[in-house]
């Protein structure tokens, strides 16, 4: 077993500069996105429930996560991912 | 011809064919090894039986009644006197024999183990996952058992001798023994070893019946002498039938066991080579001439096999291939086609009221009179070859609804291609120009997209056959529409080598060009009037090179940029640049600056980029044509040559270089003695030795650079090599340094050369010598000549470069193939998202920003600036 990290110094994935912002979509937003692209949830890219960032924001299976990345060409780039097992 | 409606494939089942199935699908048993009788008629129950299909015209298939070409052929079979093993499954048999009981045939596992594995296999199957790992574990576990838990039999070690021999206890297992063992395995056990008892019983691997492929897949050919020559497969089948017969005769006559076994082995050999003639350990069956036979496996495997050669890749008609050579007088979208080729390639014209006269003229000219015609297809579909003698007659007969195969002529659109076709610009549409001689000619400005040169490269040409194909080629694939590369949003077609040197010489000199020369320079462009002369000398008007160049620039072009020769001064002086490196173009007039790679070079040209994006591709195309022609005239106007003597360095500069070198070598000696004395200061993260190596490399490369600077000071802008390097036409200052001053350190894997003898690189040096000379530093220049040891080290370094490129091309080729296969069906939708064929989203916005890189400004995100500037009216 790995040693537990000292208190107050646990690794927080979301605070790492290489990890983009993750957030769970609420019902309304999700509906809007799905109709915007005219898709079902299953057509979206996937993210594992066990993904460290997904775990951090407590995403459940079936949720859709919005990921906001910094992009050198587009400023901000938004992605959506369906949480799967 | 009736085209059957396509059917959707629901599923594909793989399995082994059972002997029963073989007999069921067979239309006849084959018993005689003979093919044709004395009259040349196929023998019944022979290998060419007409029940198996027909290949000779005139005969009808006895099975389906079809003629040659209609009948697809039918399988026959041979009843093998004794069973033989199928080589392709020999390893599977080994595994199964070792995993099952030699007496009762049970899989040597506990019942609960079997259940566990079976469940795992079933779940994996349901999920569509490979079951190989589990099956291999089953075989591994079952092999461990020493006695059978079901009948108590003690198991024996089974030795396998490639390719088809199994030995148990020094006793050879005959295929009959093996087959009876395999027959004993229960259906349940078969499932545990990952096989399907309905579709693949293990005993079916041991062949008792051999299918005889239809005649249609092994046609015999009639030679000119009238003699028949049979296909390799037929030869092999003849062998099998002969041995089969001899075997039977011997057995019936009660021949000794030894002879029977020999014949059995021979039968096994023939069946093995019939299936695969490249099994290791089996001498390949050969033709009378000594050529190995091409049997079943050989037909499928490899580059020329059925999959890669016939299904994934096909040969095409209406194409030509020959060597390419340059012709700067062609326009960039043209391709010079040899007359011989143009006479052979055709386009089909449908005869209509509007083109009737035109078509008649082509037919009248016949096949030998260039834009003529080779064939006509009459309304009833009959093809008639046009010859010198019947052309006049046919021309009068031509009527509406006929088709005429007209030879290609100037202006026809064709596709031009050079392998490897790595990006879409590797195949572009060109307009042909029929020329004498035997090579394809192309404008050197289109070399970069094809990555072509003229050291013997060959290229392919294809003639689109339908109006749709031609329209598509012209709109999407025309060279003009592909000047911008979708890779980086800049022009990929543009001036190369002498084009750049030529315009550089023209626009950088202060030379006063008289009227005669000015007109000569512009002769090939379509400019017929000169603008106001720049001034007068001796009552004669004169023009500058910049003025001449301005003539080919379209009016209304405004541009300012720094040229390639810009020295990146700390404070840019802009229009007052001493090197004339700041280019100002106002309303199509080159006011200041020098034209070089940045202005017209492929990949970099700012002018071309602007012309395409703000004017149109026609104008850009014309500009490339004019610029390349003007540059060639320009370079001929002043003359341009280069030889090793151009790298002459005056003696005082040579002595300076020598001094720098001596100093550097002293420093290296000092570093070494410091290292040996243990006084060298270690760099962080490095060992002492690594530190020394790094310091030496640094010192020597610094020395090489400073010798280069010294040489550079003595080689001015009047030197051809300097002109080429600075303007970006070819070569670099490093190349110059190596030629004139010092070649520098030779490296293998980024380190000094260390390999060779024990403790030293060559026997010319002391053991443990750490000096520069002993580890591949070349102090000499290419001009002065290398010493023997230097030469050797240089060869070592050069070899590494060659190996690197060889390895890199194969690796990047494979990587490209994998990427193309993975990405080929992805599509940008109208909403800007990228989706695959199942409409699953891959990207929500293409490339994060939704921008087509072809329309971006050299892939820089400031594309908007150009628009803002043009609206707000800020200076360009």
SS (H, E, C) B250-304: HHHCCCCHHHHHHHHHHHHHHHHHHHCCCCCCCCCCECCCCCECCCHHHHHCCCC
Q: Residues of B with CB below 8 A from A36's CB?
A: 831
Q: Residue B354's pLDDT is what? A: 93
Q: Which residue of A has its CA nearest to B835?
A: A43
Give the best residue of A73, A79, A82, A84 to mutate against chain B (max B CB count within 10 A). A73
B residues 822..851 contacting A (CB < 8 A):
831, 833, 835, 838-845, 847-851
Lowest-pLDDT range of B254-263, B535-544, B627-636, B722-731: B535-544
Counting one residue from chain A and one from chain B, the pairs whose CB atoms sit within 8 A come to: 39
CATH code for the domain defined by B645-800? 1.10.132.30
pLDDT tens for each residue of B321-380: 999 999 988 999 999 999 999 999 999 999 999 999 999 999 999 899 889 999 999 888
* B851/A73 touch (CB, cutoff 8 Å), yes or no: yes
* B848/A74 touch (CB, cutoff 8 Å), yes or no: yes
pLDDT tens for each residue of B373-427: 999 998 888 888 998 888 888 888 888 989 999 999 999 999 999 988 888 999 9
Structure tokens at B141: 């576990």
Sequence ranges of the domains in chain B: 28-74+213-305, 89-204, 319-482, 498-638, 645-800, 827-872
Q: Residue B430's pLDDT is what? A: 95
Q: Where are the alpha helices (DSSP H) in B330-404?
A: 339-344, 356-365, 391-397
Q: Is residue A25 part of a domain?
A: yes
pLDDT tens for each residue of B573-614: 777 777 888 888 888 888 888 888 888 888 888 889 888 888
Give the best residue of B127, B844, B861 to mutate against chain A (max A CB count within 10 A). B844
Rounded to an integer, what distance in angstroms lies between the CA atom of residue B778 and that of residue B789? 9
pLDDT tens for each residue of B839-864: 899 999 998 888 888 887 776 766 66
Q: Residue B1's pLDDT is what? A: 53
pLDDT band at B876, cuts 50/70/90? very low
Rounded to an integer, what distance in angstroms lies between the CA atom of residue B297 and that of residue B276? 5
CA dihedral A42, A48, A52, A57 (to 10 degrees): 40
Q: Residue A6's pLDDT is what? A: 66
Rounded to a whole number of angstroms, the distance from the CA of B845 to the nearest CA of chain A is 8
Give the best residue of A37, A40, A46 to mutate against chain B (max B CB count within 10 A). A37
Q: Which residue of B has its CA nearest to A79?
A: B844
Q: Residue B189's pLDDT is what? A: 86
CATH number 2.40.40.20 given to B319-482: yes
Rounded to a whole number of angstroms, the distance from the CA of B703 to the nearest CA of chain A is 39
DSSP letters spanning B163-216: TTEEEETTEEEPHHHHHHHHHTS-HHHHHHTT--TTT--GGGGEEEEEEE--GG
Closest CA to B431 of B503, B331, B517: B331
Phi-psi category of B76—alpha, beta or left, where left has phi over 0 and alpha has psi -120 to 50? beta
pLDDT band at B51, cuts 50/70/90? confident
ipTM > 0.85 (yes/no): yes
Q: Residues of A with CB below 8 A from B838's CB?
A: 43
* A39/B841 touch (CB, cutoff 8 Å), yes or no: yes
* B849/A71 touch (CB, cutoff 8 Å), yes or no: yes
Q: Residue B2's pLDDT is what? A: 60
Helix (H, G, I), strand (E, B) or coil at B579: coil
- Which residue from A43, A72, A79 is facing B840, i.e. has the nearest CB? A43
Q: B28-74+213-305 architecture in CATH?
A: Irregular (4.10)
Rounded to a whole number of angstroms, the distance from the CA of A45 to the nearest CA of chain B is 6
Q: Is residue A8 part of a domain?
A: no
Q: Is residue A79 part of a domain?
A: yes
Q: Residue B414's pLDDT is what? A: 96
* A37/B841 touch (CB, cutoff 8 Å), yes or no: yes
Give, for B531, the enclosing helix (H) or strand (E): none
Q: Which residue of B has its CA nearest to A37?
A: B831
Q: Kindly tell me if the per-residue pLDDT of A1 is higher than 70.
A: no
Give the best residue of B826, B837, B841, B859 to mutate against chain A (max A CB count within 10 A). B841
Q: Is residue A59 part of a domain?
A: yes
Give the best residue of B843, B849, B852 to mutate against chain A (max A CB count within 10 A). B849
Q: Is residue A2 part of a domain?
A: no
Rounded to an integer, what distance in angstroms lies between the CA atom of residue B6 and that of residue A73? 47
Q: Which residue of A has its CA nearest to B843?
A: A79
pTM score above 0.95: no
Rounded to an integer, what distance in angstroms lies between the CA atom of residue B594 and that of residue B565? 8
Q: Kindly tell me if the per-residue pLDDT of B815 is higher than 80.
A: yes
* A77/B848 touch (CB, cutoff 8 Å), yes or no: yes
Domain of A32, in residue numbers: 14-84
* B847/A73 touch (CB, cutoff 8 Å), yes or no: yes
* A73/B848 touch (CB, cutoff 8 Å), yes or no: yes
Closest CA to B416 of B463, B356, B486: B463
Closest CA to B67 of B75, B76, B55: B55
**What phi, psi does B60 have (nearest 5°)?**
-120, 145
Indicate which CATH number applies to the domain containing A35.
3.90.940.20
Looking at 3.40.47.10, 3.20.20.330, 1.10.274.100, 3.40.190.10, the CATH number of the domain B498-638 comes to 1.10.274.100
Rounded to an integer, what distance in angstroms lies between the CA atom of residue B360 and that of residue B342? 19
* Mean residue pLDDT across chain B: 87
Domain tally, chain A: 1
Lowest-pLDDT range of B56-65, B530-539, B646-655, B748-757: B530-539
Structure tokens at B11: 């599923």
Segment B243-255 mean pLDDT: 88
Segment B503-530 mean pLDDT: 81
* B845/A80 touch (CB, cutoff 8 Å), yes or no: no
Q: Kindly tell me if the per-residue pLDDT of B154 is higher than 90.
A: no
pLDDT band at A5, cuts 50/70/90? low
Rounded to a whole number of angstroms, the distance from the CA of B839 to the nearest CA of chain A is 7
* A37/B839 touch (CB, cutoff 8 Å), yes or no: no
Rounded to an integer, what distance in angstroms lies between the CA atom of residue B774 and that of residue B500? 42
Q: Residue A66's pLDDT is what? A: 93
Lowest-pLDDT range of A30-44, A51-65, B50-64: B50-64
Helix (H, G, I), strand (E, B) or coil at B820: helix
Q: Kindly tell me if the per-residue pLDDT of B59 is higher than 90.
A: no
């Amino acid at each position: 077993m790995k040693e537990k990290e000292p208190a107050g110094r646990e690794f927080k994935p979301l605070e790492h500069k290489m990890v983009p912002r993750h957030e769970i979509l609420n019902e309304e937003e999700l509906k809007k996105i799905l109709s915007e692209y005219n898709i079902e949830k299953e057509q979206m890219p996937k993210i594992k429930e066990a993904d460290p960032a997904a775990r951090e924001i407590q995403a459940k299976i079936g949720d859709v996560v919005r990921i906001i990345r910094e992009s050198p060409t587009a400023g901000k780039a938004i992605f959506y991912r369906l949480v799967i097992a | 011809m009736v085209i059957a409606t396509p059917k959707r494939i629901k599923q594909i089942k793989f399995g082994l064919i059972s002997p029963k199935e073989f007999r069921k699908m067979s239309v006849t048993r084959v018993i005689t090894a003979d093919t044709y009788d004395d009259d040349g008629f196929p023998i019944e129950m022979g290998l060419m039986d007409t029940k198996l299909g027909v290949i000779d015209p005139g005969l009808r298939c006895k099975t389906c009644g079809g003629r040659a070409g209609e009948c697809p052929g039918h399988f026959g079979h041979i009843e093998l006197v004794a069973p033989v093993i199928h080589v392709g499954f020999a390893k599977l048999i080994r595994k199964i024999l070792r995993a099952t009981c030699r007496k009762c045939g049970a899989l040597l596992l506990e019942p609960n183990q079997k259940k566990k594995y079976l469940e795992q296999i079933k779940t994996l199957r349901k999920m569509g996952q490979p079951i190989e790992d589990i099956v291999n574990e089953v075989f591994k576990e079952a092999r461990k058992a020493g006695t059978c838990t079901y009948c108590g039999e003690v198991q024996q070690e089974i030795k396998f001798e490639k390719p088809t021999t199994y030995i148990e206890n020094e006793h050879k297992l005959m295929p009959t023994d093996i087959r009876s063992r395999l027959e004993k395995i229960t259906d349940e056990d078969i499932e545990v070893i990952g096989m399907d008892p309905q579709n693949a019983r293990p005993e079916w691997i041991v062949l008792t019946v051999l299918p005889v492929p239809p005649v249609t897949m092994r046609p015999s050919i009639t030679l000119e002498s009238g003699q028949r020559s049979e296909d390799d497969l037929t030869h092999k089948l003849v062998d099998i039938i002969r041995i089969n017969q001899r075997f039977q005769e011997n057995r019936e006559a009660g021949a000794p066991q030894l002879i029977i076994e020999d014949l059995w082995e021979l039968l096994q050999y023939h069946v093995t080579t019939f299936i695969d003639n490249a099994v290791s350990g089996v001498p390949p069956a050969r033709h009378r001439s000594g050529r190995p036979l091409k049997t079943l496996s050989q037909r499928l495997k490899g580059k020329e096999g059925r999959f890669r050669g016939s299904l994934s890749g096909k040969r095409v008609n209406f194409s030509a291939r020959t060597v390419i050579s340059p012709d700067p007088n062609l326009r960039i979208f043209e391709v010079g086609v040899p007359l011989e080729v143009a006479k052979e390639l055709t386009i089909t014209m449908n005869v209509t009221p509007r083109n009737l006269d035109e078509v008649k003229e082509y037919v009248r000219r016949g096949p030998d009179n260039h834009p003529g015609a080779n064939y006509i297809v009459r309304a009833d579909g009959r093809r008639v070859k046009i010859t010198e003698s019947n052309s006049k007659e046919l021309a009068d007969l031509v009527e509406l609804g006929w088709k005429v195969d007209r030879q290609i002529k100037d202006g026809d659109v064709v596709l031009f291609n050079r392998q490897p076709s790595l990006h879409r610009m590797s195949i572009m549409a060109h307009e042909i120009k029929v020329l004498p001689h035997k090579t394809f000619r192309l404008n050197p400005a289109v070399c970069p997209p094809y990555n072509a040169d003229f050291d013997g490269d060959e290229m392919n040409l294809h003639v689109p056959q339908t109006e749709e194909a031609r329209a598509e080629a012209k709109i999407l694939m025309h060279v003009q529409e592909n000047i911008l590369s979708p890779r980086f949003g800049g022009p990929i077609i543009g001036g190369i080598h002498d084009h750049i040197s030529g315009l550089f010489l023209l626009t950088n000199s202060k030379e006063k060009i008289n009227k005669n020369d000015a007109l000569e320079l512009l002769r090939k462009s379509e400019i017929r009037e000169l603008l106001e002369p720049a001034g007068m000398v001796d009552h004669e008007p004169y023009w500058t090179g910049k003025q001449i160049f301005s003539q080919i620039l379209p009016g209304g072009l405004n541009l300012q940029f720094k040229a390639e020769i810009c020295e990146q001064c700390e404070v840019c002086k802009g229009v007052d640049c001493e090197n004339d490196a700041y280019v100002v173009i106002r309303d199509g007039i080159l006011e200041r600056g020098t034209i070089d790679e940045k202005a017209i070079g492929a990949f970099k040209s700012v002018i071309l980029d602007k012309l395409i994006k703000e004017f149109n591709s026609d104008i850009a195309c014309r500009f490339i044509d004019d610029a390349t022609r003007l540059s060639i005239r320009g370079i001929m106007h002043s003359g341009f040559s280069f030889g090793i003597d151009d790298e002459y360095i005056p003696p005082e500069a040579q002595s300076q270089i020598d001094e720098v070198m001596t100093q550097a070598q002293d420093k290296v000696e000092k570093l070494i003695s410091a290292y040996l004395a243990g006084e060298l200061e270690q760099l962080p993260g490095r060992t002492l030795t690594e530190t020394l190596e790094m310091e030496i490399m640094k010192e020597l490369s610094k020395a090489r650079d400073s010798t280069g600077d010294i040489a550079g000071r003595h080689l001015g802008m009047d030197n051809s090599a300097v002109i080429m390097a600075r303007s970006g036409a070819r070569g670099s200052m490093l190349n110059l340094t190596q030629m004139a001053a010092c070649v520098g350190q030779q490296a293998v894997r980024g380190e000094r050369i260390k390999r060779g003898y024990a403790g030293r690189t060559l026997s010319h040096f002391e053991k443990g010598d750490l000096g520069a000379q002993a580890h591949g530093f070349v102090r000499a220049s290419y001009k002065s000549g290398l010493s023997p040891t230097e030469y050797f080290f240089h060869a070592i370094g050069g070899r590494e470069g060659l190996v690197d490129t060889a390895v890199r091309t194969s690796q990047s080729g494979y990587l490209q193939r994998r990427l193309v296969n993975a990405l080929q069906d992805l599509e940008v939708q109208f909403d800007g998202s990228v989706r695959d064929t199942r409409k699953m989203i891959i990207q929500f916005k293409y490339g994060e920003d939704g921008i087509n890189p072809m329309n971006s400004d050299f892939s820089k995100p400031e594309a908007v600036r150009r628009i803002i500037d043009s609206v707000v009216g800020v200076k360009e």
